[in-house]
Structure 1
Amino acid sequence: MLNRYPLWKNLLILFVVVLGLLYSAPNLYPDDEAILINNENLEMSEADVAQVETALEAAQIDFFGVEFDANSIQVRLNGVENQFRAKTAIEESLTDDYIVALNLAPTTPGWMQAIGAGKMNLGLDLQGGVHFLMEVDMDAAIERRMADNLSNVRSILREQRIRTRGINLVDNMHLEVRFANAQDRSSARSELLDNFPDLQFQNREANDLYILDMRLTQDIVLQIQRDTLQANRTTLLNRVDALGVAEPTVQQQGSNRIVVELPGVQDPAQAIRILQRIATLEFHLEAELGAPRSSYENYQTPDGLLVDVDNDVILQGDRISSVRSTLDQNGMPQVQINLDAQGGNQINRVTRENVGRNMDILLIETKSRTINSLDEDGNEVEEVEFYEEKRLISHATIRTALPRTFVITGLTAREANDLSLLISSGSLAAPMTIVEQSVIGPSMGRENLEAGFRGVQIASALVVLFMFAYYRLFGLAANAALIMNILLIFSVMSLIGATLTLPGIVGIV
């Protein structure tokens, strides 16, 4: 016999071949065009399903396979044209609270999914998706740092009972504190030097006042810019990962820009929501009685109580080092927040000085909405507008000085999970604007994919013909090994969730 290998080796080879065929097979099942509907604030219901079906029937759009759970509704359709028509019809029938996004629904049989067999992830060039070039507002980052410094200077001088004649920001890099005499200025300078090592201090006199100038150095400004860019990149990456976008690209470009590529996301507006729906917290004290109206804003507690919240921020979300949703000893949901060292010192100092006062926590979300406007030619176009939404989530009396780790209670399980997800995915260290966006449609991605696999087929056919013509019987054996090698590559990539791109196809060829 030509086969001199033991039986177990032959069985092992057969097992690997069958396994390779099994785990590469899901790639033969094309995705269905679909529409995904969800609501940021409410759970989906059968009434929502009925409303969606009615809208599609009224628009005479064929659909099949309506699936829904508490979080979303998915409608499968035939063809890209029907997909876009369905999106328009559903958006017109629902309110602005609903998010209607283009989607691709897998058709892999359930028994394959049950054993972990799935399709390979496809890159932006093969699957389609969106590309963004985002610019970080560095001036806002520096302004935020100085505003934080201003608030801390006020707190420290108040704690040390050092009188001032005013504290204000001269510009984004310059803070000045005015005193009535040199002794107060000297005492303040000694106290502030240790707390603000990143600022330069300089004394001067003007208009019978003793002034202490505090400025950011150029080296510190550059460091703030580097840290801000890295923090925003990490935030965007965490946010995209948390929402399950496969193999996103989030990378720095230049000194103030970030490139974001999201394969499989076909709707730019939805992609912008993914990137911009970032939340952070701000900690404030309740305004004192008789405070000037310009020094506070009105917010409503979850219980409907109207609260006057002081404008001064005592702590911002960038001081949060970690956050997680947990249960207290009574099994009630809560969010545990851990602050960094500086944030812990700030919250401890402020709460120690204000025992008995109320402290308010604001949840701030950056969201987007689509508005209609007129272009230069008078044509109506859709634009994406960004806005901040602030919500009071906690209003409690300070009973004692808070440590670095504390909890927010009074939330439902869903609110606790959502709050934990939003904050843990990060707060933007500075605002960002989209300066460039492009969409690779699913049809173009499909064309690239078909062209790539056509290249694989042609190259494989040429290799097979050459090997058979030159080596005859041994060439057939080599060809079989080559084909199995390609199948095993696809099966392993599918199994580990690797991403296939156009250059990857070239590498396989």
Structure 2
Amino acid sequence: MIQLETWKRVLIVLLCVGGLAMAFPNAFYTRVEQHNDAVAAIELGSSSPELEAQAGQWPSWLPSGLVNLGLDLRGGAHLLAEVQVEDVYASRMEVLWPDVRDALRPERSTVGTIRLQPGPEDELRVKISQPEGMDRALEVVRGLANPVTSLTGVGVTDIEARAEGDTIIVNLTEAERLATDERTVQQSLEIIRRRIDEVGTREPTIQRQGASRILIQVPGIGSAGELKEIIGTTAQLTFNPVVSRGSDGDVNPGIGNKIVPSLDEPGTFYVIESAPVVTGEELVDAQPAFDQSSRPAVNFRFNTAGARKFGDYTAENIGAPFAIVLDDEVISAPVIQSHIPGGSGIITGNFSVEESTNLAILLRAGALPAGLDFLEERTIGPELGQDSIDAGKVATMVAFAAVLVFMGLSYGLFGFFANVALIVNIGLIFGLLSLIGATLTLPGIAGIVLTVGMAVDANVLIFERIREELRTAKGPARAISLGYERAMSAIVDANITTLITAIILFAMGSGPVRGFAITLGLGIITSVFTAIFVTRLLVIIWFERRRPKTIEV
């Protein structure tokens, strides 16, 4: 006898109603999207009659989750960037020089005078005037080494020092280079994500590809050039001692110094020490503000370590100029008037309000540790995305209609039950995509079309099994019960193998492949649910009302 407990019936109905309710907002995509954007803006403090009107376009008591459209459906920008990890080696050597100099100074009686020498960017060369003290100098420099912070570098230090005549040569060990490369790419990935999130773009795709490449796809943005403006600025902020100032950019700055132009005063150049006192990496906050003359500026605040170094330097150098350098341009060079404790300050310059806001965003998101080389860039217009959506709709409707006709002609009333379950299945797929905030791509639409074809497989197995049981002269109730029971193992086996494939595609793939895997995996889960439970519930309700003596499948 076919039967289904009351609590199971209630649970099946609730799951179907809940899934369809989650999918319902997608039928009014533009209206709900405007409502969501307006609500988000109001929560951030914005207020206007237009925002209030947009927020009222959709009832607050209804679900408002949407399936996010991918780059190929919505239009947007695509970039493939390569992180220039070698840049970090040079900056590491620059930062190391003051430490080496300060460590060797107490040993002058043994090593003599200490001078920085020119050399490759990834090496630090220090010449001592008393070569007989080289062993002691190497011992002191090697004492500055730290353990490599990676699993592959256990027991290895980050720097190595060797002697070449009267010169100490310091460079990074191979293990530290590998660890640095990994940290640099991961840090670049996170900073790019933060910068894009600060601008408020919707559902970007930011993924690592290979050893040093990053894939960036942002739907809804105007062009690849606009995206490059958001993420392409390195925003390396440093605070450097000023050696001199002049109008000649061709003078020799001397070893350990460099020449940088002034941002506010064209034709003016500063000679500054290459090694910064504090860097933007030690910033914990940056906010747009106004200075005492009501001009746009940026307030900043350092962490504990940065505040200590900033305070110590200002206390020891009152009356000396101090350069604030952004991407190798001096944006301000104030004279230190007094000790500045607490690690807070203000950056002034000829900023507009928009420029001060963008600078604060870049500094708050953090400095890119290395430059980016854009290997590939594409802009996908919204018209092309709409064409993809229209093509996907046509493909889905054709597949949907073909399956409905086939099931109706092949199985009659039972085919109608399967068609109802198929409609519920499509709704559940979109409900789950909305619930988890997944991004639908063109391959994702292909996954849905494939699911439409696969969704009735389980019903076909069940109905064919019921036909076989009816041929053995069993009653209709017994035939239906055995049909569901004996088809179960074949249904589970067939769908589990496909689900495993979808999981592998999701784990190993990226971008469009993952989009296909998500819709395929969700489609398998919902199709099995609707075939086993929804069609069974419909058949049971029909059977209990009609009590037929015979049935024809």
**TM-score of Structure 1 vs Structure 2, range by shorter chain:** 0.5 to 0.7
Distance of aligned partners of 1:477 and 1:14 in 2 relative to their CA distance in 1, 3 Å threshold: same
1:216 to 172, 179, 199: 172
1:225-273 CA distances to partner (integer Å, 9 max, x unpaired)? 3332222222222222222232322233333322222223341221221
Conserved 8 A contact 1:468-1:476: yes
Confirm whether residue 177 of structure 1 aligns to residue 177 of structure 2.
no
Distance 2:19 2:416 in 1: 17
1:419-473 CA distances to partner (integer Å, 9 max, x unpaired)? 4421232212111221222333333322222222222212221222233334434
Residues 469-488 of structure 1 mapped to structure 2, 5 A cutoff: 469-488=409-428
1:305-340 CA distances to partner (integer Å, 9 max, x unpaired)? x9956243324646437435599xxxx98432226x
2:27 to 13, 25, 28: 25
Distance 1:289 1:462 in 2: 78
Q: Percent identity?
A: 27
Q: Which amino acid aligns with 2:26?
A: S
Conserved 8 A contact 1:119-1:494: yes
1:51-75 CA distances to partner (integer Å, 9 max, x unpaired)? xxxxxxxxxxxxxxxxxx99xxx9x
Q: TM-score, normalised by structure 1?
A: 0.63
SS state at 2:188 partner: helix
Confirm whether residue 258 of structure 1 aligns to residue 214 of structure 2.
yes
Going by fraction, where is strand more abundant, 1 or 2? 1
Distance 2:333 2:362 in 1: 14
Confirm whether residue 408 of structure 1 aligns to residue 345 of structure 2.
yes
CA shift for structure 1 position 137: 2.5
Residues 263-282 of structure 1 mapped to structure 2, 5 A cutoff: 263-282=219-238
Confirm whether residue 238 of structure 1 aligns to residue 194 of structure 2.
yes
SS state at 1:111 partner: coil
Q: Which amino acid aligns with 1:360?
A: A
Residue aligning to 1:168: 117
Distance 1:317 1:259 in 2: 28
Distance 2:132 2:195 in 1: 50
Distance 1:156 1:239 in 2: 38
1:283 to 239, 256, 259: 239
SS state at 1:142 partner: helix
Residues 23-172 of structure 1 mapped to structure 2, 5 A cutoff: 23-27=25-29, 110-112=56-58, 117=64, 119-157=66-104, 164-172=113-121
Distance of aligned partners of 1:495 and 1:27 in 2 relative to their CA distance in 1, 3 Å threshold: farther
Q: Which amino acid aligns with 2:21?
A: L
Distance 1:495 1:126 in 2: 19
- Corresponding residue pairs, total: 398
Conserved 8 A contact 1:493-1:499: yes
CA shift for structure 1 position 407: 1.9
Q: Which amino acid aligns with 2:420?
A: A
Distance of aligned partners of 1:344 and 1:459 in 2 relative to their CA distance in 1, 3 Å threshold: same
1:226 to 166, 179, 182: 182
Distance 2:416 2:261 in 1: 80
Conserved 8 A contact 2:321-2:334: no
CA shift for structure 1 position 21: 6.2
Residue aligning to 1:313: 275
CA shift for structure 1 position 284: 0.9
1:335 to 300, 321, 339: 300
Distance 1:451 1:289 in 2: 63
What runs of 5+ residues in structure 2 fail to find an aligned partner? 35-44, 147-157, 290-296, 450-553
Distance 2:102 2:314 in 1: 11
Distance 2:100 2:308 in 1: 13
Conserved 8 A contact 1:286-1:307: no
Distance 1:289 1:141 in 2: 28
Distance 2:201 2:5 in 1: 49
CA shift for structure 1 position 477: 3.8
Larger Cα-atom Rg: 2
Q: TM-score, normalised by structure 2?
A: 0.59
CA shift for structure 1 position 499: 0.9
Conserved 8 A contact 1:201-1:212: yes
Distance of aligned partners of 1:269 and 1:317 in 2 relative to their CA distance in 1, 3 Å threshold: same
